């Protein structure tokens, strides 16, 4: 008996949340010596296919998915998005890093690295705060109050996270 399954492949990093990306990275690191396991975890995390479904795929289907995911993994250069929307609320990137508050600076620098890891969502919650006023391209954001709420940034798509990271890499 044949069974049909629908496979949804991400078309860009805008289709992948930080939460999903971090889970994938953890499994890729755990199985860094096993290329076949890495491919299986990529298919699992990015396409939502469990182990049982993966085993039932034809070799031709598996190869097509694998090739498409290999091409997908190239991270394109993306720009910083100064204003983002999370659950209907606009968040603005710190508009003037040279005037960032000492508290925000101290909280960011307590993390060992500025990279997309388990602390990244906390860093994003310091850098992006609710927009209070907007006028054209100018805006002001809520004053940093020391409250770090990274959970909301776990659902934000990776194109936004990569844009923020690339901003600092190229700074």
- Based on the fold, state whether residues 44 and 117 are members of the same structural domain: no
Mean pLDDT value across the chain: 92
Report if residue 157 sits inside a domain: yes
Which domain range does residue 108 map to? Answer: 83-169
Our count of domains for the chain comes to 2
- Based on the fold, state whether residues 66 and 90 are members of the same structural domain: no
Exposure b/e, 62-88, CB count within 10 A at least 16 = b: beebeebbeebeeeeebeebbebeeee
- Based on the fold, state whether residues 95 and 68 are members of the same structural domain: no
- Based on the fold, state whether residues 124 and 144 are members of the same structural domain: yes
Split at pLDDT 50, 70, 90, the class of 1 is low
Quote the pLDDT of residue 51.
Answer: 85
- Based on the fold, state whether residues 35 and 91 are members of the same structural domain: no
């Amino acid at each position: 008996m044949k069974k049909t399954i629908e496979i949804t492949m991400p078309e860009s990093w805008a289709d992948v949340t930080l939460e999903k990306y971090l889970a994938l990275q953890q499994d890729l690191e755990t199985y860094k010596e096993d290329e076949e396991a890495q491919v299986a975890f990529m298919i699992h995390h990015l396409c939502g296919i469990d182990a049982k479904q993966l085993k039932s795929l034809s070799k031709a289907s598996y190869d097509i998915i694998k090739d498409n995911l290999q091409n997908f993994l190239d991270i394109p250069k993306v720009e910083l998005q100064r204003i983002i929307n999370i659950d209907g609320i606009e968040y603005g990137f710190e508009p003037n890093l040279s005037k960032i508050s000492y508290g925000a600076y101290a909280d960011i620098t307590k993390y060992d690295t500025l990279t997309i890891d388990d602390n990244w969502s906390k860093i994003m919650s310091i850098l992006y705060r609710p927009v209070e006023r907007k006028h054209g391209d100018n805006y002001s954001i809520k004053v940093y109050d020391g409250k770090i709420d990274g959970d909301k940034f776990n659902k934000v798509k990776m194109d936004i996270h990569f844009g923020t990271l690339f901003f600092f890499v190229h700074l």
